[in-house]
Amino acid sequence: MSKTNNTEGFNTGSMVPNLRPSENPATPAVASTHGLVRTLLRSVVLGGVGCLAIAALVDVARPEAVTDVQRSGGVGTGTASIVDFSEAAKSPDARTPPPVNPRIEEFHRRTRPTRPSRPTSGTRDMPPAAAAPHLALTVNSNFDGISEVGCVGCGVPPDPNAATSGTEIVELVNTFIQVTDTTGAVLCGGGVTLNRLLRSTDSLTDPRVQFDNVHQRFSLAVTVAPASNSATPAMWVAASDSADACGTWRVFRLTFSGSPFPAGTFLDFPMLGQDTNALLISTRNLTPTSRNFTVFGLPKAAIYAGAAVNFSTFNVPSLTAPVTNAGQPMISSPSSFFLAAVPGTGYRLFRLTNSGGQGATLTLQATIHSPFNAPSREARQPGTISTVDSSDGNILASPYFDGTSIWFSHVFDFVGFPTVRYGAVNVSTNTVTTAMAFHSGTSDDFNPSLAVGLSPSGTSVYLNWAFTDAPAGTATSVVVDTLSAGQPITNLIGTGTVLISGSTTSQTRFGDFSSVAVDPQVPGGTCAVAAQQYFRVGGTWNTRLARVGTCQPPVLVPDVLNDSLPEAGQVLAAASLTVGQVTNVVDPTCNNIGTVLRENPDAGTPVPVGSAVRLSIGKRPPPPFECP
């Protein structure tokens, strides 16, 4: 997306009028309502009749033939070099912004139209609290990340997102990368500009980062704003050599050619996802005269080894998000998926074979009928007529596949309010279940992302978004919410945990995206890291990171057999466990009189920190039996 910058000497921008990705002539948004259900909801909410108690909606695919998508005629190539993060961070130019892009002023003249901030009548009524029992998320750490004040040349909006290895968190904004521990302490000797890390003078923007919990590597993608109409379209992809982001990375400058990529094309708004075999990427391509959309896969084997890559791209009708496989470790799947949210239609599900490698095919698996409208206005702020970007109707962060369904989030218009819509597409039945999330009856809610964790109990969902509530005097704030493992999809209304409330701003751009990443070191997907934006006093942007959920890894039950009760208590306490129920049982062998005969759970069993271990203490058999 196009960026503005209030720091002299650096900027990024888009090649054509920066229309929202949903404004695709092939997929126009429609002004009609969502049918009878939406009409009834509007009547309930605006008429004030009763309370809003909306069930999750299930929609099915339109009957249509599965369609193979022809290759676009576009190809990409790239070769690798090696960089060292810590060495780059210690260099004198680690934080020096890149040179000015000579076309930045042209990019700025081609700005997109803004939407109105007209007031919305009425409120979204709140359901009774008892109607939806909900467990609040535990916030383990909650801290500021990168700031506009401390990041010269980082632009507006910041594009915040982060990934975690469990011990490190890698955070990206437009032109800057920083590594912290799980409490926010900066590692690697400090942050570094992406230009310095990649050893590039390109004008960089729209970065994404993720972690591969199978191969224990971070990967990132960032696009290049071309310097002229004769510039070859390009983007960067990089992967760390280990789970330590402070070490070495393999970096590729990918170049593109063919019909979707004429000279001067800007590969705008790249999105990054993955399965076990490939990095999955989508782009919106702004050519000097038009635009198109492409998706492709990069083989992890080649990227991680630093081998040369050659790949084909596929055209799709609109901005389409690559789907990330969930799981700790990541689940495998026979196909890769891409998912698009299409205002006025619903969802388009694509299936990519061979992870985009040799002989790959892309298939439009289904168009799923679940109409919605993109937000009709921007988000209001208290005490000012200035508004902030309410996002759009597209999926802007990678969805997650849990082996059965693809989980997603985006923004839509609900009775005049920007509102978060989330849900899951079942890839076997081509059906979708959706629900909504918002903070209050008068809040404007936007810039969502989610991730899912997998456990034997089911799928856990972590949802992250921003909101304002002008009538309540609340400026841009950050909120996270959850569905516990196995909980059905339901509306999340007023149940989220607010991480921080910010201030008003004169900046109109927000996001353009956010992220949630599941901690790979905590079994069962019970812990996640959220990255979002807010505004500090004075109106400058700041990122906010939080580690939420049950984030302490399990501990193994120690062996306390043959210990006395006091000794067993000390051993369990040292393992962050407690003594549970104690029973006295007859020991016919007389070997454990007054000591632990049995423990439950057994020694070596992984259990959550603080768990209680039940102990059985041996006692003498009753007469006439006598112990020796």
- CA angle (83 as vertex; 77, 89 as ends), nearest 5: 135
Q: Which of 54-63, 184-193, 515-524 has the lowest mean pLDDT?
A: 54-63
Q: How far apart are CA 334 and CA 607, in angstroms?
A: 33
User: Where does CATH 2.120.10 sit in the chain?
Assistant: 68-549
Over range 389-406, report the average pLDDT: 95
Q: How far apart are CA 324 and CA 598, in angstroms?
A: 44
Q: Is there a contact between 485 and 413 (Cβ–Cβ < 8 Å)?
A: no
Residue 152, pLDDT score: 83
Is 127 a residue whose pLDDT tops 60? Answer: no
Q: Which of 37-41, 97-101, 205-209, 559-563 has the lowest mean pLDDT?
A: 37-41
Q: How far apart are CA 108 and CA 59, in angstroms?
A: 41
Grouping H, G, I as helix, E, B as strand and the rest as coil, residue 565 is: helix
Q: Which of 228-232, 398-402, 520-524 has the largest mean confidence?
A: 398-402
Assigned token pair, 413: 């218009």
Q: Which of 50-64, 142-156, 253-267 has the lowest mean pLDDT?
A: 50-64
**Is the pLDDT higher at 129 or at 411?**
411
Q: Provide φ and ψ at 467, rounded to 5°.
A: -150, 155
Residue 470, pLDDT score: 95
Q: Is 166 left (phi over 0), alpha (psi -120 to 50) or beta?
A: left
Residue 606, pLDDT score: 84
CATH classification number, 555-619, choose in 3.30.10.20, 3.90.1170.50, 3.40.50.2300, 3.30.70.360: 3.30.10.20
Q: How far apart are CA 569 and CA 77, in angstroms?
A: 62
58 - beta bridge partners?
A: 433
pLDDT band of 141, cuts 50, 70, 90 = very high
- CA angle (321 as vertex; 319, 322 as ends), nearest 5: 140
Grouping H, G, I as helix, E, B as strand and the rest as coil, residue 183 is: coil
Q: How far apart are CA 171 and CA 185, in angstroms?
A: 12
Q: Is there a contact between 419 and 445 (Cβ–Cβ < 8 Å)?
A: yes
Outline where DSSP puts E strands in 64-151: 67-69, 71-78, 80-84, 139-147
Outline where DSSP puts E strands in 100-165: 139-147, 161-164
Q: Is there a contact between 211 and 520 (Cβ–Cβ < 8 Å)?
A: yes
Beta carbons within 8 Å of 264's beta carbon, 6+ residues apart: 15, 226, 228, 229, 230, 231, 233, 287, 288
Return the exposure string of 527-537: e unless at least 16 CB atoms fall within 10 Å of the residue's CB, then b: bbbbbbbbbbe
197 - beta bridge partners?
A: none
Place of tokens 């109105």: 116
Residue 624, pLDDT score: 83
Q: Is there a contact between 179 and 188 (Cβ–Cβ < 8 Å)?
A: yes
Residue 359, pLDDT score: 82
End-to-end CA distance of the chain: 83
Q: Which of 393-402, 543-552, 617-626 has the lowest mean pLDDT?
A: 617-626
Q: How far apart are CA 140 and CA 159, in angstroms?
A: 24
Peptide bond into 157 cis (omega under 30): yes
Residue 549, pLDDT score: 95
Residue 37, pLDDT score: 37
Q: Is 132 left (phi over 0), alpha (psi -120 to 50) or beta?
A: beta
pLDDT band of 172, cuts 50, 70, 90 = very high
Instruction: Please state whether beta strands 169-173 and 176-180 pair in parallel, antiparallel, or not at all (unpaired).
Output: antiparallel
Please state the three-class secondary structure of 8-77 as a single string: CCCCCCCCCCCCCCCCECCECCCCCCCCHHHHHHHHHHHHCCCCCCCCCEEEEECCCCCEEECEEEEEEE
Q: How far apart are CA 525 and CA 518, in angstroms?
A: 6
Helices (H), 182-285: 194-198
Radius of gyration for the alpha carbons in the chain, expressed in angstroms and rounded: 26
The H or E element containing residue 85 is: helix 85-90
DSSP assignment string, 285-320? EE-SS-EEEEEEEEEHHHHHHT--EEEEEEEESS--
pLDDT band of 1, cuts 50, 70, 90 = low
Residue 555, pLDDT score: 87
**Is the pLDDT higher at 126 or at 31?**
126
CA count, 13 A, side-chain hemisphere, 132 = 23
Residue 28, pLDDT score: 30
Assigned token pair, 316: 């799709």
Q: Which of 95-109, 126-140, 339-353 has the largest mean confidence?
A: 339-353
Over range 340-363, report the average pLDDT: 91
Is 474 a residue whose pLDDT tops 70? Answer: yes
- The model's pLDDT over 33-59, given as tens digits with 9 standing for 90+, comes to 333 333 334 333 433 333 343 456 666
Grouping H, G, I as helix, E, B as strand and the rest as coil, residue 90 is: helix
Residue type, 271: M
- The model's pLDDT over 431-449, given as tens digits with 9 standing for 90+, comes to 999 999 999 999 999 999 9
pLDDT band of 64, cuts 50, 70, 90 = low
- The model's pLDDT over 5-27, given as tens digits with 9 standing for 90+, comes to 433 332 323 332 233 333 333 33
Taking alpha carbons only, the member of 248, 239, 332, 316 closest to residue 279 is 239
Return the exposure string of 187-210: e unless at least 16 CB atoms fall within 10 Å of the residue's CB, then b: bbbebbbbbbbbebebbbbbbbbb
Assigned token pair, 15: 């090649």
Grouping H, G, I as helix, E, B as strand and the rest as coil, residue 610 is: coil
The H or E element containing residue 492 is: strand 492-493
Residue 132, pLDDT score: 47
pTM (2 d.p.): 0.84
Residue 607, pLDDT score: 82
DSSP-derived secondary structure letter, 105: H
Residue 10, pLDDT score: 25
User: Where does CATH 3.30.10.20 sit in the chain?
Assistant: 555-619
Residue 627, pLDDT score: 82
Cα four-point dihedral sign 599, 600, 605, 607? negative
- The model's pLDDT over 599-611, given as tens digits with 9 standing for 90+, comes to 999 999 888 778 8
Q: Which of 97-106, 265-274, 411-420 has the lowest mean pLDDT?
A: 97-106
Over range 70-77, report the average pLDDT: 80
Q: Provide the mean pLDDT of the chain.
A: 86
DSSP-derived secondary structure letter, 186: B
CATH classification number, 68-549, choose in 1.10.3470, 2.120.10, 2.60.40, 1.25.40: 2.120.10
**Is the pLDDT higher at 135 or at 325?**
325
pLDDT band of 209, cuts 50, 70, 90 = very high
CA count, 13 A, side-chain hemisphere, 272 = 27
Q: How far is CA 624 from the centre of its chain?
A: 69
